[in-house]
Each structure stands twice: as C-alpha cells, then as structure tokens.
Amino acid sequence: MTRSAFSVAVALLLSIVPIRSAATQQPPAAASPAVPRLPSVMLPPELDRVLRDYERLWKAGDGAGLARLFTDDGFIARPGGWIRGRDAIGAAYQRMAGGDLRLRALAYAAGDTVGYIVGAYAYAQTAGESDAGKFVLTLRRAPGAPWFIASDLDSAIRR
C-alpha cells in the first residue's frame, strides 16, 4: 500500500469510527435523587366527593359503580392503550378493583364545566409513608351539576 493510499485509508477509518477521548466521554449518570413527597391540598367538597366515591367503590371492587363516576365517553389509560366508555371502563375495573385505596390531591382547578385534579395514591398499609403512584383526573359537568371523570391517567411510581 502506498503512503497516499494508506493516508486515505486512515482518513476514511477516522471518519467512520468516532474518536473517544477523556474529554468527550460522558461521566456515569449519578443516581437520581429522591423526589420529595408533595403536600396534599384540600379540595372543595364537590371535587373531594369524586375522590372519596372512587376510594369507596374501588375498595368494594365495584367496577360498575366506578364506571358511573365517568362521563359516558370517559377514558382510562392502561398498558395496552386507552379504554373508552362506561361499559368498557366498568369491565376493566371489575377485573382490577379492590383494596384499601387512598387518594390525595396535590393540585386542582375547576371552572364552570371543566376541571382537573392532580394527585397521588397509596394503599392503607403505606398511605402515611409513601405514594405508590400518581394520577391526573380531568373532569366535566353540566353547569351546576355534579362532576364526572372525563379521563383518568395514572402511573405507579418507579423507585
């Protein structure tokens, strides 16, 4: 191989293989710091009713009752995708509900016909210590009527 052919080969190799030096290497990621547990907020009674009814019906394993907390076209998110409508929500909750669920609100807002609650959940045995998951409920109602859940997004907290 001639010197110029060698130079071309080295140049090609260097253009394909990235050069890693101590200056360009990323340091190992540090462990994520613990996320502090956010304080609960008090909800107005008409919003608090949604959470307390949800807890009561979940504990009873009443999927049909849970579904009645939702709008006709409500949504829940599950690992396989979205479930929509009271009948489908009732069927899904009938298979999953049960246990002493505790819901707490972290933030909320409500207008005349739409609102939301951001919160955390746990089960009775750990409710005072740590949260098992987080949720966002979007809410709808007719003016002056009770609130219904339009969507429920929840997720376990990964430690």
What's the confidence (pLDDT) of residue 16? Answer: 34
- Mark out the alpha helices in the chain (DSSP H runs): 3-16, 45-59, 63-67, 86-96
pLDDT, tens digit (0-9, with 9 covering 90-100), for 14-55: 333 333 333 334 444 444 455 667 899 999 999 999 999 999
If you count them, how many residues does the chain have?
159
Say yes or no: domain 45-156 is CATH 3.40.30.10: no
What's the confidence (pLDDT) of residue 124? Answer: 80
3-state helix, strand, coil in the chain (%, to 5): 30, 30, 40
Q: Which residue has the tokens 């009732």?
A: 90
What pTM value is reported for the model? 0.75
What's the confidence (pLDDT) of residue 141? Answer: 97
What's the confidence (pLDDT) of residue 127? Answer: 55
Paired with 80 in beta bridges are: none
What's the confidence (pLDDT) of residue 34? Answer: 56
Low-confidence ranges of the chain (pLDDT < 50): 1-32
Calpha distance 127→149 (Å, rounded):
23
